Structure 1
Amino acid sequence: MEESLKLKKATYHLYTFMISKLISTFGSQVYAFAISFYILQLTGSATSFATNLLCNILPRTLAAPFAGAITDRYSRKMIVIVSQIATTLAITGLLIYTLTSGLSLIAIYTTTSILSLTSMFSGIAFTSSITGLIDQPRIQKATAMNQMAISFAAIGSPAVGGLLYGTVSIPVFLIIFILASLIAVILESTMNFRLFAVINKIEEQKETMWQSMKAGIRYLRVQSTILVILWISLLINFFFGAFEVGYSYILIENLKMQSQHFGFTQGAFSLGMLLMSVYFSARKEVKFPLLVSKRGIVGLGAVIGSIALPLLLPMGYWTMFSYYLVLMFCFGILIITVNTPLHVMFQKTIDDEYKGRVFSIVETMSMALTPLGMVIYGVLYDIFPAQWVLLLSAAMLIITTLGMMRTSIIRKVHPKWKEKQVVHPVKAGTVAR
């Protein structure tokens, strides 16, 4: 009877988690859309716009290691709720300042920095709590539904933001965000973050913050599987600089694609993510997640390289547009194919008491390499032809993936895949690769 009640509560968590994530993500993205447009219209300066982006990235990068240690030492539910309340207060403060003194860049930068920190704390605490909120068989479903919420927000927020920006004032945007954040707080307060969790925090409380962070690094060093995935993730984030910088540059500058058509290709990317998230939420858990992710990363490399094709083989405008529409749809599918199995694998292999620190290390290193990749690729695109930068980067990503996730590593992580390969060698004729 007790087990049945826990499963019902887990089902409630499954949908409450997705709705809370959807509401908070949608609100923050609509806010980001409005603020970005406001900054560009107010200043017309790319530097001011970039400064706001830096205020979003830098605090997360600097504070992530501390966020992980704090998440593992204290109540994750309390961290999530306090972070969401802090978000609400920050936006309320910006609203009051706007109504009394008018909106200024300093106020925007300050608010962006605060929101960066609160979203990071909330995100790490939530991610670390999935195995406490949801029963083991439905972790993949929970991860996929989380991705669905993010995809819904990515598709809908630009449309809603664009519609509202032309009809309502900035204070109305802020009020909408405040209401969304309050609803998220109420939903999160009804969740039991330790429904399935077994975490021993007695020893953790005896450690200093610095000792706790070092313990997380020591734990990560002995987890060879997680280290491989971590390095692959870092490389993907670095090589994604080729895509992040090159895609917009090639389509807008080189191929002269209209802005509205460019937006459609971005929408196709979000649609691919959404549909694949729905698929993962409905299907059984992936048996060999590292193998699936390896194939997905190789596919991503192929797509990144394919972006250069219209520069090598001239196409008509509508053929080119259709080509990129399909390419970005596939890109969205592959992103989820890579991310979802790896996230599920992380949830099931990392001990609960170390999850916050491990996920914070991933966050720190990923955020650190992303701007570095963008800077390097920005220089490379100015010096070399775009098609060769893309093709070389794609080749390096594929080669690195095949090397770091070679067959021996896959077999070590998934022994049953090795057994499956050699169960009927006579019937199969060859061993699968």
Structure 2
Amino acid sequence: MNDGLKLKKATYHLWTFTISKLISSFGAQVYSFAISFYILQATGSATSFAANLICNILPRTLAAPFAGYLADQYSRKLIVVLSQVATTIAVGGLLLVSFITDLSLTAIYITSCILSITSMFSGVTFTSSVSGLVDEARVQRAMSLNQMSISFAAIASPAVGGLLYGAVSMQTFLIMYMIASCLAVVLESTMDFTLFANRKEKEIAGQKESMWVSIKAGIIYLKLQPILVTIVWISLLINFLFGAFEVGYSFILIEKMKMVSQRFGFTQGAFAVGMLLLSIYFSIRKEVRYPLLVSKWAIVGMGCVMAAVSFPLLVGLTSTSVFVFYLVIMFGLGALIIIVNTPLQVMLQKKIEDDFKGRIFSLLETMAMALMPLGMVLYGFLYDLFPAQWILLLSASLFIGVVLVLARPSVIRKAHPEIAEPNAEKGRNVPTTVRM
């Protein structure tokens, strides 16, 4: 295939990938919004809400190594398509249960586990395939467009969910998700996942590695990359501490502030708007020069936002003031998450060899989420026992402390040696002005 045709196909992949993510994300987020409200209003318990979050996280953590192995050993296109088909079947099963009997927490939890696993296989494989779908010059744009599609869906889905919740049946939400999933399957089946791939041929009989040998090789490769190890430790600890926000935010707004579903939906939409605007910015700007440094300070910003969530619990505000405050908070958080993720994702896409991407991305996700189930359980109990504001303030302080220690200046200089190098100007050494 000539270069001109390959670039045309890469452009097609950019938009097909974006639209597919937009459609599937919209269905998933409308479903998630409705289920979260259903559980909290039916039980009024932060523990029950946290249990559903665990069902979304624990299976992903356990399945990630298998997803990485399959993504590096088998057809990535086949894995993505089959994962989306499995998602459609799982939602259809819950729809069938809802017609036969009333929805139970058990049925919801089981479905959440299945959807968690299918999204893991699809997500890891898609992430591993970005450099095979588009040319190297457009990797950052592809990652940004992916975030944009998720953001568009996140803007619309809470608003739609908030308006429809209580006005239509839960079956309507499930049918919407099924339709979106089916459309995503059709789009994904038209993509060529090997267009720019640089993978070694592994289909020769006797050449395919066993799963354990393959995973072990991925671990060894990871250990040889000290910056990746640092990213793993940061992800492990901050995702555990971010459980304070994951559980506390919905619990505070719905149970403590008694915010109506429409307003809650708009705060979620503000989060998506922040993600969207920063995704657009990254899609048109040059690559970030110092991705780990930029991500470090964005994570510190996230810690400040986490602490700020407790403010209305400490100071009396009107319901309108509370609503506006959380709109601003969620907008800022959405923007910061993109500033953290996009530069790091581009750096990893270019730093990790194609043959190891599935295993490395799955190992990174496994380690990032390893403590999240424990965090969900812990914070679910803590919010039922102690004042929410003090839980958030303590967790935010630890959150900021972790990144300042693990991403200290010496580590940043290892990731970006050019920061420490003096710039020659008229024969003199000029010290760098980059702040770490």
Do the structures match in fold with TM over 0.5?
yes
Q: What is the alpha-carbon distance in structure 2 between the residues aligned to residue 375 and residue 251 of structure 1?
A: 19
Is the 8 Å Cα contact of residues 162 and 261 (structure 2) preserved in structure 1? no
> What secondary structure does 1:206 align onto?
coil
Q: Which residue of 1 aligns with 2:278?
A: 276
Superposed CA offset, 1:154-175 (max 9, x none): 2212332344455554444444
Structure 1 residues 113 and 297, CA, compared in 2 at 3 Å: closer, same or farther? closer
**Range that drifts further, 289-298 or 106-115:** 106-115
> What secondary structure does 1:191 align onto?
coil
Q: What is the alpha-carbon distance in structure 2 between the residues aligned to residue 170 and residue 117 of structure 1?
A: 22
Q: What is the alpha-carbon distance in structure 2 between the residues aligned to residue 174 and residue 318 of structure 1?
A: 32
Once the two structures are TM-superposed, the CA of residue 293 in structure 1 deviates from its matched residue by 0.6
Matches within 5 A, 1:11-410: 11-36=11-36, 44=43, 46=45, 52-95=52-95, 101-102=100-101, 104-105=103-104, 107-166=107-166, 168-202=168-202, 205-251=207-253, 260-310=262-312, 318-381=320-383, 386-410=388-412
**Range that drifts further, 54-63 or 282-291:** 54-63
Once the two structures are TM-superposed, the CA of residue 362 in structure 1 deviates from its matched residue by 2.3
Is the 8 Å Cα contact of residues 240 and 371 (structure 2) preserved in structure 1? yes
**Range that drifts further, 360-369 or 337-346:** 360-369
Letter in 1 for 2:404: L
Is the 8 Å Cα contact of residues 44 and 255 (structure 2) preserved in structure 1? no
Superposed CA offset, 1:123-154 (max 9, x none): 11101100111111111111111111111222
> What secondary structure does 1:199 align onto?
coil
Is the 8 Å Cα contact of residues 155 and 273 (structure 2) preserved in structure 1? yes
Once the two structures are TM-superposed, the CA of residue 367 in structure 1 deviates from its matched residue by 2.8
In the alignment, structure 1 segments of 5+ residues that lack a partner are none
Once the two structures are TM-superposed, the CA of residue 244 in structure 1 deviates from its matched residue by 2.5
Is the 8 Å Cα contact of residues 423 and 431 (structure 2) preserved in structure 1? no
Superposed CA offset, 1:188-209 (max 9, x none): 1111111111111439943211
Superposed CA offset, 1:350-394 (max 9, x none): 111111112212222333322222333445556665444433333
Is the 8 Å Cα contact of residues 278 and 339 (structure 2) preserved in structure 1? yes
Please report the RMSD computed on the Cα atoms of aligned residues, expressed in angstroms. Answer: 3.1
Calculate percent identity across the aligned residue pairs.
Answer: 62
Structure 1 residues 127 and 304, CA, compared in 2 at 3 Å: closer, same or farther? same
Is the 8 Å Cα contact of residues 270 and 327 (structure 2) preserved in structure 1? yes
Q: What is the alpha-carbon distance in structure 2 between the residues aligned to residue 134 and residue 350 of structure 1?
A: 16
TM-score (norm 1): 0.87
Structure 1 residues 66 and 9, CA, compared in 2 at 3 Å: closer, same or farther? same
Is the 8 Å Cα contact of residues 50 and 247 (structure 2) preserved in structure 1? no
Letter in 1 for 2:342: T
Once the two structures are TM-superposed, the CA of residue 335 in structure 1 deviates from its matched residue by 0.9
Structure 1 residues 385 and 364, CA, compared in 2 at 3 Å: closer, same or farther? same
Superposed CA offset, 1:97-145 (max 9, x none): 655x345535544443332222211111101100111111111111111
Superposed CA offset, 1:321-376 (max 9, x none): 43333222111111110011111111111111111112212222333322222333
Q: What is the alpha-carbon distance in structure 1 between the residues aligned to residue 397 and residue 92 of structure 2?
A: 48
Structure 1 residues 128 and 300, CA, compared in 2 at 3 Å: closer, same or farther? same
Larger helix proportion of the pair = 1
In the alignment, structure 2 segments of 5+ residues that lack a partner are none
> What secondary structure does 1:280 align onto?
helix
Once the two structures are TM-superposed, the CA of residue 61 in structure 1 deviates from its matched residue by 2.3
Is the 8 Å Cα contact of residues 24 and 181 (structure 2) preserved in structure 1? yes
Q: What is the alpha-carbon distance in structure 2 between the residues aligned to residue 177 and residue 374 of structure 1?
A: 26
How many pairs does the alignment contain?
Answer: 430
Structure 1 residues 330 and 49, CA, compared in 2 at 3 Å: closer, same or farther? closer
Superposed CA offset, 1:222-275 (max 9, x none): 111111111111222112123223444555666666665444333322211111
Is the 8 Å Cα contact of residues 422 and 431 (structure 1) preserved in structure 2? no
Structure 1 residues 349 and 93, CA, compared in 2 at 3 Å: closer, same or farther? same
Q: What is the alpha-carbon distance in structure 2 between the residues aligned to residue 324 and residue 5 of structure 1?
A: 48
Is the 8 Å Cα contact of residues 241 and 395 (structure 2) preserved in structure 1? yes
Is the 8 Å Cα contact of residues 73 and 205 (structure 1) preserved in structure 2? no
Q: What is the alpha-carbon distance in structure 1 between the residues aligned to residue 251 and residue 175 of structure 2?
A: 35
Structure 1 residues 305 and 63, CA, compared in 2 at 3 Å: closer, same or farther? same
Structure 1 residues 238 and 220, CA, compared in 2 at 3 Å: closer, same or farther? same
Structure 1 residues 432 and 367, CA, compared in 2 at 3 Å: closer, same or farther? closer
Superposed CA offset, 1:267-326 (max 9, x none): 322211111111111211111111111121121122223334455565565555433332
Superposed CA offset, 1:67-122 (max 9, x none): 111111111011011111222333344445655x3455355444433322222111
Q: What is the alpha-carbon distance in structure 2 between the residues aligned to residue 172 and residue 70 of structure 1?
A: 34
Is the 8 Å Cα contact of residues 69 and 213 (structure 1) preserved in structure 2? yes
Structure 1 residues 422 and 312, CA, compared in 2 at 3 Å: closer, same or farther? farther
Q: What is the alpha-carbon distance in structure 1 between the residues aligned to residue 304 and residue 286 of structure 2?
A: 27
Structure 1 residues 332 and 223, CA, compared in 2 at 3 Å: closer, same or farther? same
> What secondary structure does 1:276 align onto?
helix
Is the 8 Å Cα contact of residues 201 and 353 (structure 1) preserved in structure 2? no
